[in-house]
Amino acid sequence: MQPVMTGEEIMGMLDEVFPQIHAGGRVYAIDSVSPGQSVVRLSANELHLRPGGTVSGPTMMALADLAAYVVILAHIGPEALAVTTNLNINFLRKPEPGDLLCTCRLLKLGKRLAVVDCEVAGEGAEELVAHATATYSIPPR
């Protein structure tokens, strides 16, 4: 399964059709796109922290959802209307403030549905802070 879009092409598309992801500043970056996988970075700032100084659950959910969208777009092309139909997340431990990386792998890419596995970890950390699975609906072509 080879990507049909690069990270730069995807970010350009997102800037055009989904600019609200940058409402709190440019905190998301696409680190890599490869066959069946992508890595998206969140540079968490004080807007993303919860009481206790850790990155909030909704922030990690947004990262996983965006990273799933990125890996799907990378493999189907610029289809803005692919939408999340399910996102299940398990929070495993408290993430420290700083950059979080979400590695997403395509488990299934069909004509109408895509299923993605997402792992969220702090940069340089071995242990996951969250694990998610996402299902996206792909509009008919």
Whole-model pTM? 0.95
Residue 2 lies in a domain: no
CA distance 44 to 86: 24
pLDDT at 93 > cutoff 80: yes
Residue 1 lies in a domain: no
Q: Give the domain CATH number at 82.
A: 3.10.129.10
CA distances from 106 to 11, 46, 54 (A): 19, 31, 28
Question: Residue 4: what pLDDT?
Answer: 97
Count: domains in the chain? 1
Q: What is the mean pLDDT of residues 2-11?
A: 97
Residue 93 lies in a domain: yes
